[in-house]
Structure 1
């Protein structure tokens, strides 16, 4: 029990110093300040107006450099003003307002084409329409003025805090990324133990671990993109990069290398399981994973709390691995043991510890050697460039665009909700509208998950709110509860939507209680739950029946892209081994970035496909097997880069295999893309027997890659016969 309490305390402390909690605090401060000031002057309705503007601006705010934040918030403020002003003008006219709400739903949903920053602004703009429905003050000018004052006030708070600690967000994101890596390492151990169990693993438990691994991969890559956007753009735009910023850039570069080594363990490989089991190294392997998890936890904690890393990083604990390998080399290798697998595992562990030591010394300010290994990167190439031109908007105004179809679904849902509320004389359209814009997503799987979590969170929040109001109705205590709920809401929404929604429900209903001077609490709770339920029903029906976007249709395209990324990555690594003219470290790492992001996109898409109806079990099973093989291929290619740092004598047989690998990958991509201009080679000629030549560890990996892509090719040919794959063909470019 004491250990469990210690873990809870540790996680809570980490959360308090995290990016999400600081974001919640920032939004809460900007919201609560106007309310407290207005209560002092007995003008609570004005305070809530200003607070609403601050909330909208806070939701639309994303991390970034001060230049990007200022530009985004300025453009966003224009949208907020227009929506609030026009909505109030049209509100008395039922038909005009319904058409305006429908247009807003379509227009701001199209912002998905511009990336996550624009999506946040679009969602906030739609929230302005929700607030405009509930303004009690009849004066259009007063409502707009104080609402926009809240928007401006939040901007001042946000930009002011950024100036005080410009690197804090990047620091928190790096800490978060390392924490995700730690959790990923723990899941890897669970995955291995399930696969290595003497009895077949329980299907539900095994699938749950796999699902969590895919989810954690997506979070790792998402946080890495956030770091690139914040840290690299900050360095690019800065006239002089401080010592702290330079050190953080080095930490992040070393961290990506560490992650590459971590995923190169190839836990999908059955040879790994049998080799560990038969060599009596299974316990050592699990101990290493535990140790790696502890190291990552310690580094993450230290970065988040501004402390020196004290965790011990000692690679000498690999001695048992080394001794066993030497023993097997000097004796007859027992059946079931692949010595190359054991050597590969030991090499990955050694490189992991080496990278962890570099990160530790960087955090502690002790790293002096080999800085050029991480400083010579062209950072501009690692950051995304968004095209915010109207031409991009215009190019997506057709039914070939999934975002256009999503925008049509959004506008139709809002229109149907408005008509239903008008005909049934339901006076809480704003609740229905709010829920629709927050749960309706471009793909069915996401809509389903958000809808379920929102309903659970709303019910939980409604019950808690009722209990609070039964205990006390003191306005100062209620204000305190509101403050805590605001912090909780905007701290948890990005990481646990259900919990975040519960907090949102609490503070919204309590704000209504304060604003309406002890109004009917049951009515407010009923409106909130009723509006959520109606919105979920409408969103489900529209998402399922009107121009639905099924994720399975884009799977072949994502598979093809990932194979192209792997091919380019493989070609660059092999080129650096075979030729004098070598690719730069920047080019190699850019290819690696594409592979990692492609893997994340494919894994997250498959997670959503699982929840889609009308897909055969055999198709899902074969797609899963193919994705597993491609993940294994990516890790094998990453392993080659580990070996490429060593002096390697590339034999003639190695060169033959490299050529064969490239040809087979070309064939895989050609089959998926249905490219008639590419000649499909007779792959039976590629199944050469390379088992007799003298293998180095590098040659062993080449042979494994060769075997893998033959399996991948066979699965792709098999999938061509499924109706689901044929339906997807028109989505493949």
Structure 2
């Protein structure tokens, strides 16, 4: 356990979060140092507060969005400081203004993740305005110094961006490589796992895919935006190519040549061969981790032949197995196994392609994607009044959260005033950082905040009792500030401990009664956390079971569009950019569904309605995406014949079932059993004919390619039809 904690700490030092923690600490401390030298400490404190208020919106993404986000945070922080500063002088005016500001700033979150961070800056400014740390000259001067701090942070971030912009992209790519490596390892383990263990792995994949999608979205925004701005920049094109290959590796990792159950059944007597494929997958995962380190640390890439040797060994063993098989019936096994290692071979080729891009690329290759096509991959948000109006309804989770947060903050303020709490704004601050739109996330933050604060408080008391050195307190204040900011997204409980330590060390430098400060800090945290938890549970709570059907239908619809592109690809009627765009949307929708299911699984038992049933539906959606990706990957990477009318009939039936499952109006589905039966008969007869021909010829390659195509297409269509039919039956039973 201790070893894991130490290892986790050293891994943190390599992350982009740690770099941002150092950036924040330097930006916040420099104004304090300069102001102290000039004898203007109040101005320095206000500037440091400005850095604190604007830094949350400075998250990875395109430079334009980052600048706009920080600039809006500066504006909203200054306005909030001015309004609350003046309103606090008038008792009859303060509460209405306080309520309106909290509600309106909370509603900004409807415009997406970055907007939610800008919203948090405004809410944080309201809370810190109650701390009554004013500069000389009154409210206006204090607000202007906060604005100056925010602008200083923006300038500081821009300078660092232009100095290290390549490093930012490489850090994100490195994290995406590590997550993909973990995904490949779990998929490899699933080849031989059954029962509850397999279900656990599937749930782990759900959470992992959500994290991968988040990284992919950030990388798209950074790389594609830069390609748009810098044209034929070699660095940008190289990273775009690397990213495209990485997404293809994920797709290949998701794809199976047949259903997992059928593959396990066919290969149950060939454990050694399965273990070899697992080992090959794990070697590729290890190679992705090494590439991640190369990107993160800008090291020279060292070539390794183990992957090639494993590939040669597996194909040689396949040839030996093939020579032993003499019965026609066992050709089915050979084809499935051959397709399995063929998929892995394609994955290996993608890894090799990335290796060549890192070591040999001279900037002459094209990305294979036009600039206008690349821009289509950027996720855009509609920043119009209608988006806000659409959420002014109790059905909206953001609207409910805004009401809930407003009531919780008023409650905390009233408690602080009524009991004359020493630092009442600490209660509000705790409530603000803990509350989230969903109950499960709020409950987790409630626990983590309490544990973190208690641990931090205990450590702080020990240090303050035994060490009486202002220099030590100052050094520890800087260290804990960096670590707190670095851990806040990665491990909130640890971040809460470091936040408590940081507050204590800062107060140790300013006040002699630091033990009393710790006591009030812990008490205020307990009160604020309790308010947040109770509000999330009893005030207009948003339960996932009530909304998860929307995510299910959106995922089915995205899979439908992806499947359409696969059909068009088989008929040579679409471009690769359209295929990739549909794939991206299907991956994102699946990630959103996985995240919603994870939140649902964390809710109280009384609200886990139909959890097992929902897990089955989520799993079916995952299978649908896997089967579609498998078919699309095969068509992209193998020579194929012309799509037959039977293929189109199969696809039409699958699309009908999916359309029924994803639409609100349950229109009767046309009976397509005869078409399906005819298609199955056609593929089965063609498969048998090719088997007999292939079995009797010495030169097998041309026939084998055709046989491989028929086997994959036949199995994929049957699998897709079974999944779509299962989904249709589920929604029919609910209609």
Give yes or no for TM over 0.5. yes
Deviation, 1:358, is 1.1
Q: Distance in 2 between matches of 1:153 and 1:312?
A: 47
Larger mean Cα displacement after TM superposition, 117-126 or 241-250: 241-250
> Given the alignment of the two structures, is residue 674 of structure 1 paired with residue 690 of structure 2, yes or no?
no
Larger mean Cα displacement after TM superposition, 314-323 or 357-366: 314-323
Deviation, 1:404, is 1.4
Contact 2:53–2:74 (Cα < 8 Å) also in 1: no
Deviation, 1:162, is 1.0
Over 3 Å counting, the alpha-carbon distance change for 1:521 and 1:718 in structure 2 is farther
Aligned position for 1:461: 456
386, 398, 411: which one pairs with 1:416? 411
> Given the alignment of the two structures, is residue 593 of structure 1 paired with residue 584 of structure 2, yes or no?
yes
Contact 2:53–2:73 (Cα < 8 Å) also in 1: no
Aligned position for 2:697: none
Aligned position for 1:303: 295
Aligned position for 1:643: 634
Q: Secondary structure at the match of 2:368?
A: helix
Q: Distance in 2 between matches of 1:467 and 1:455?
A: 18
Q: Distance in 1 between matches of 2:169 and 2:599?
A: 29
Aligned position for 2:45: 48
471, 486, 493: which one pairs with 2:481? 486
Q: Distance in 2 between matches of 1:721 and 1:48?
A: 62
Q: Distance in 2 between matches of 1:482 and 1:265?
A: 52
Contact 1:14–1:301 (Cα < 8 Å) also in 2: no
Aligned position for 2:108: 111
Contact 1:577–1:650 (Cα < 8 Å) also in 2: yes
Contact 1:250–1:374 (Cα < 8 Å) also in 2: no
Q: Distance in 2 between matches of 1:467 and 1:650?
A: 75
Contact 2:657–2:669 (Cα < 8 Å) also in 1: yes
> Given the alignment of the two structures, is residue 527 of structure 1 paired with residue 515 of structure 2, yes or no?
no
Q: Secondary structure at the match of 1:165?
A: helix
Contact 2:111–2:381 (Cα < 8 Å) also in 1: yes
Count of residue correspondences: 706
The 5 A counterparts of 1:544-559 are 544-559=537-552
Contact 1:298–1:310 (Cα < 8 Å) also in 2: no
Contact 1:34–1:50 (Cα < 8 Å) also in 2: yes
Deviation, 1:228, is 1.0
Q: Distance in 2 between matches of 1:97 and 1:294?
A: 59
Deviation, 1:444, is 1.8
Contact 1:253–1:374 (Cα < 8 Å) also in 2: no
Deviation, 1:75, is 2.2
> Given the alignment of the two structures, is residue 665 of structure 1 paired with residue 655 of structure 2, yes or no?
yes
Q: Distance in 2 between matches of 1:552 and 1:50?
A: 45
Deviation, 1:315, is 3.4
The 5 A counterparts of 1:156-175 are 156-175=155-174
Over 3 Å counting, the alpha-carbon distance change for 1:32 and 1:369 in structure 2 is closer
Aligned position for 2:557: 564
Over 3 Å counting, the alpha-carbon distance change for 1:73 and 1:369 in structure 2 is closer
Q: Secondary structure at the match of 1:157?
A: helix
Aligned position for 1:385: 380
Deviation, 1:687, is 5.5
Deviation, 1:297, is 0.6
Deviation, 1:334, is 8.2
The 5 A counterparts of 1:217-616 are 217-238=209-230, 240-265=231-256, 269-279=260-270, 280-312=272-304, 314-326=307-319, 327-328=321-322, 330-332=325-327, 338-366=333-361, 371-373=366-368, 378-515=373-510, 517-518=511-512, 520-579=513-572, 582-614=573-605
Aligned position for 1:37: 34
Over 3 Å counting, the alpha-carbon distance change for 1:13 and 1:245 in structure 2 is farther
Over 3 Å counting, the alpha-carbon distance change for 1:137 and 1:184 in structure 2 is same
Contact 2:267–2:333 (Cα < 8 Å) also in 1: no
Over 3 Å counting, the alpha-carbon distance change for 1:475 and 1:628 in structure 2 is same
Deviation, 1:576, is 2.4
Aligned position for 1:130: 127
Q: Distance in 1 between matches of 2:715 and 2:539?
A: 46
**Unaligned residue ranges in structure 1 (runs of 5+):** 727-733
Over 3 Å counting, the alpha-carbon distance change for 1:12 and 1:458 in structure 2 is closer
Q: Deviations over 1:105-151 (max 9, x none)?
A: 21121122111111111111111122211134473244323322321
Deviation, 1:628, is 1.5
Larger mean Cα displacement after TM superposition, 534-543 or 684-693: 684-693
Deviation, 1:377, is 6.8
Over 3 Å counting, the alpha-carbon distance change for 1:720 and 1:571 in structure 2 is closer
Contact 2:404–2:539 (Cα < 8 Å) also in 1: yes
Q: Distance in 1 between matches of 2:332 and 2:461?
A: 63
Contact 2:477–2:505 (Cα < 8 Å) also in 1: yes
Q: Distance in 2 between matches of 1:268 and 1:452?
A: 41
Over 3 Å counting, the alpha-carbon distance change for 1:109 and 1:502 in structure 2 is same
